[in-house]
Amino acid sequence: MNIDINRKDEHLNLALEFQKIKRQSDFDNMDFIHDVFPNIDMKDVDISTSIAGFKLDHPFHMNGMTGGSELTKSYNEKFAILARETNTFMAVGSLSVALKDKSTHDSFKIARKQNPHGIIFANLGADKTLEDAKKACEIIGADGIQIHVNAAQEIIMTEGEREFSKWLDNISDIVDNLGLPVIIKEVGFGMSRNAIRQLKEVGAKTVDISGKGGTSFAMIENSRRDEDDKLSFLNDYGNSTVVSLLESQQYMDDIEIISSSGIRNSYDIVKSLSLGAKSVAMAGRFLKLVNDLPMEEAIDKVNNWKSQIKSIMTLLGAKNLDELRKVDIIVKNEVKNWCEIRNID
Ligand code: FNR
């Protein structure tokens, strides 16, 4: 089997294994203050949002994961059905393999076939050009594209990319000339205020900070090595999702921020939204959902998240996402230390 195609299957299987590990989360270093009187009625709570020019009736979506093989085609099909039935915005995984190998196209196109009217984003790395981005979008009839910035993953991967000097230029060209919305995303190592500033300077409008604490591509790439070469190289590297959201604060008026990585439940979604995220993306959680549950139950679960978000917002007295951003939060332990060191109020 082609190494790129084999890698897609390995990523998916290892990500599923990873879902079984319970890891410490910075969302546990963040609390709301229970204020007893919500002073609002649940029927008045609106959980809608917008991202990359699209109105969403709920503030979470499915992050880019996969495609490229028979196995991943079957998952893209399930993701697309779940997205269609719950009206959820979704992205497919990197179409890099599809640019080289036409025989893989169906494993991505299946998403559009199953979800003809939904919002579907393509996905490519920042090493790719504007022409590549156009082709990737054409293949699946995409509404926009996610461009992933995964330098840490590439460095950890034995066969990974070692040239990063053109990434910001490529992003600038794609953002300016693609003619479709573009989301710049990390893959689980988080972002800093410096990174967000650089993205703003090259014209990015929507950024998914995808922080440390969720599916770990350090652990995944390390465990893909031969048995006698296993490493825990950079396993703890990166900025957590909560820290990345705090680092983004000063740019939130200029750039739409998406929270992702390590989102476990509706409470983590609401915490992300209270820190200013305009939507919250999940990958591993959706993967586990379609893997473990029959479709009907997976759909119920997603619909439950929507009503739980509404319930938590009611409890916090927030009628919409703007009001949720004004709710007081407390940060503790490592997150508090980070805020002190980085002068974040
Ligand atoms: C991913 N992720 C990913 N991201 C991306 O931009 N392009 C890709 O091709 C992939 N591939 C991929 C495969 C699998 C199986 C998983 C689980 C994830 C990364 C993903 O979008 C997200 O940034 C991280 O997984 C962190 O979020 P979760 O999984 O903790 O919700």
Q: How far is the CA of 342 from the centre of ligand 1 (A)?
A: 28
Between β-strands 279-282 and 60-62, what pairing exists: parallel, antiparallel or unpaired? parallel
pLDDT, mean of residues 127-147: 98
pLDDT grade for 228, boundaries at 50, 70 and 90: low
pLDDT grade for 344, boundaries at 50, 70 and 90: very high
Least Cα distance to 120 among 204, 206, 61 occurs for 61
For ligand 1, say whether the CB of 215 is within 6 Å of any of its atoms: yes
Atom number, ligand 1, closest to the C-alpha of residue 96: 9
For ligand 1, say whether the CB of 262 is within 6 Å of any of its atoms: yes
Atom number, ligand 1, closest to the C-alpha of residue 286: 31
Cα(62)–Cα(83) distance, rounded to whole angstroms?
8
pLDDT, mean of residues 265-277: 98
pLDDT, mean of residues 68-89: 98
For ligand 1, say whether the CB of 187 is within 6 Å of any of its atoms: yes
- In the block, tokens 């709570």 appear at 45
Query: Quick one: pLDDT at residue 3?
Result: 66
Task: Centre a 10 Å sphere on the Cβ of residue 130 and count the other Cβ atoms it contains.
Answer: 15
E strand or H helix at 50, and its extent? strand 49-51
| Burial (CB count <10 Å: 0-12, 13-18, 19+), residue 54 | middle
Residue 115, pLDDT above cutoff 60? yes
Q: What percent of the chain has pLDDT over 90?
A: 92
For ligand 1, say whether the CB of 214 is within 6 Å of any of its atoms: yes
pLDDT grade for 180, boundaries at 50, 70 and 90: very high
pTM above 0.90, yes or no: yes
CA distances from 111 to 67, 123, 279 (A): 9, 13, 21
For ligand 1, say whether the CB of 259 is within 6 Å of any of its atoms: no
Query: Quick one: pLDDT at residue 158?
Result: 87
Query: Quick one: pLDDT at residue 235?
Result: 92
- pLDDT tens per residue across span 138-178: 999 999 999 999 999 999 998 899 999 999 999 999 999 99
Query: Quick one: pLDDT at residue 226?
Result: 73
Which residues lie closer than 8 Å to 212 by C-beta, 6 or more apart?
A: 188, 189, 190, 236, 237, 238, 239, 240, 241, 261, 262
ipTM of the complex as predicted: 0.99
- pLDDT tens per residue across span 275-309: 999 999 999 999 999 999 999 999 999 999 999 99
